[in-house]
Amino acid sequence: MNTPSAPPPSGITVQRALELPGLRSGLPEILAGADRLHRTVRWVHAGEVPNIASLLKGGELLLTTGYGLGTRPAEQRAFVRTLAERGIAALVVELGPRFARLPAALVDTARAAGLPLVQLHREVPFVTVTEEIHTEIVNGHYALVQRAEEVHRRCTEALLGGRGVPQVLGILADFGGNPVFLETTDGRLLYAAGAGPAGADPLQVWEGLRGPHKEAPPPAGSVLVDVPGGGPGTGSVRARLVLLPVRSPLAPVHRMAAERAAGILAVVLMQARQEEELAARGRGDFLTDLAEGRITPEDAPAQARVLGFKPGAGPLLPVVMRLGDTLSPAGGGWAVLARAVAEELASVGVPVLLGVRPVEGRVPLLLGLRTESERTAVADRVAVALRAGVERAGMQPPGAQPPVVVVGVAGGWAAASASLRHAAETATAAQGLTDRPWYDARRLDIDLLLWRLREHPDLAAFVDRAIGPLRDHDNRAKPPLLPTLQTYLAHAGRKAETARELHLNRQTLYNRLARIGELLGTDLDDPQTVLALSLALRARRHVP
């Protein structure tokens, strides 16, 4: 890495202004603040009014003949103190009719305040001085823009040459002579480039200054620039560039260069996300074609190998995660989800083929098991990884139902086809179920059948006949009785277990069950009644 040359000053300094022909012709004499002539002159202002400080913003070089300084020492001291508090770069007073030499009160106050004070022994045209300094400021700014544009050009060439984020960050780090980091909006490190003091690894710099302290402001003099995300004008932020001044100070030109690099990084990240999403969709299409019989079991292994899936000789386990409507990611969110889920699945320890199906809101997977006996253990780990990926992708709003995970039957490629289709349909039918981390597709066949009948008017009529009176009761009275009936049936009529789960004493439960039987006009001990009520409770999720 080349050591960059020191950047030019971000603007003209007081020292440089005094060296220009306009002020130099006035024979300037520095009376105070000689050690502060490195101050940057942001602009030049000329004026003769006592309250001129109120017209200034800071960083100005003030030209005056002294008529606004006042005649009494107290007025002169107050004038200088106000200018110093305003943060002007320097005060330049032209000697003449008002002052033959500057008063001691003026000079002493300027020295105490650290304000550069210059007196001119010859008359100079202030307009000439103003034009010269403003020209220097504009030229200096143009030079900074040129340097920043050079960084932008090099980053663009890197992008067009097929290089990615590390190369762009490397160009920026080389230019600034300091390490550069790309972090997520919540402070996670994505990439690092450059070197710290004495050639230290940038990750050491990150851990020391940024990683553990991401909630605190960055070190003084750092540069933070947002990398935009989404479409033009959306205002969203995808990541953040962080430049830390650990080897040398950072100047405004470095911020300008970082802002230009941020635009390039936005394109790189968008391109990577699009490619990632296309690849995930391609794997999802393969799994869907396999499930629907458009790919034969004989051709499937070769196509899977092309997609990077190389299972062993053991059975294949289909898994489908179905996202609810409140969780479905928009736009490039599917790429974020696919990446987050893939990273979580890396810890499962078996070969995985992961795809996405945005239209159906599904994430289908195929896993390579060693033996059938590890199906349950792998399914447990996969369900945890899938939901963790959803959370990492920022797609789990408060109060939203978690995604449903359905696990199919393990087998060979021929079995995988039918099992994938069964798991995908069952995952849709299982929307709204939240009591288990994952569901065995074989145990949800009744739910699948009811879901397929969801638009048939007879299903809604059946639900209304079976539990309509309870539904009407719960809409107007407390306590609700449907949860009691559902828990009672889930425990196969075992009253002690039902009471424990509902935190009721037995007599209260008996009273509620009696009220349920009275409202429905039926006997809860009758097997046919129990079957009908169980079906109606399961069917009510699928009818209006």
SS3 assignment, position 228: strand
Q: For the segment 204-240, what is each residue's pLDDT rounded down to a tens digit? A: 777 777 655 556 677 788 888 888 875 444 457 778 8
The predicted pLDDT at position 7 comes to 39
For residue 1, pLDDT over 60 is answered with: no
pLDDT bracket for residue 25 (50, 70, 90): very high
Rounded Cα distance, 436 and 383, in Å: 10
Handedness of CA 347, 352, 353, 356 (dihedral sign): negative
C-beta atoms surrounding 343 within 10 Å: 13
Q: What is the mean pLDDT of residues 151-167?
A: 79
Task: State the DSSP H helix or E strand holding residue 451, giving kind and residue range, or none if neither.
Answer: helix 445-452
Rounded Cα distance, 314 and 351, in Å: 11
**CATH H-level superfamily of 12-134:** HprK N-terminal domain-like (3.40.1390.20)
Rounded Cα distance, 92 and 104, in Å: 15
**Domain 296-452 CATH class label:** alpha beta
8 A C-beta contact, residue 316 and residue 368: yes
Pick the CATH number of 163-271 from 3.55.50.30, 3.10.580.10, 3.30.450.40, 3.20.20.70: 3.30.450.40
Q: For the segment 104-152, what is each residue's pLDDT rounded down to a tens digit? A: 999 999 999 999 999 999 999 999 899 888 888 777 666 667 777 888 8
8 A C-beta contact, residue 424 and residue 441: no
For residue 343, pLDDT over 70 is answered with: yes
Contacts of 521 (CB under 8 A, 6+ apart): 469
CATH code, residues 457-542: 1.10.10.2840
Q: For the segment 349-365, what is each residue's pLDDT rounded down to a tens digit? A: 899 999 888 878 889 99
Whether pTM > 0.85 for this model: the answer is: no
For residue 332, pLDDT over 60 is answered with: no
Segments making up each domain of the chain, as ranges: 12-134, 163-271, 296-452, 457-542
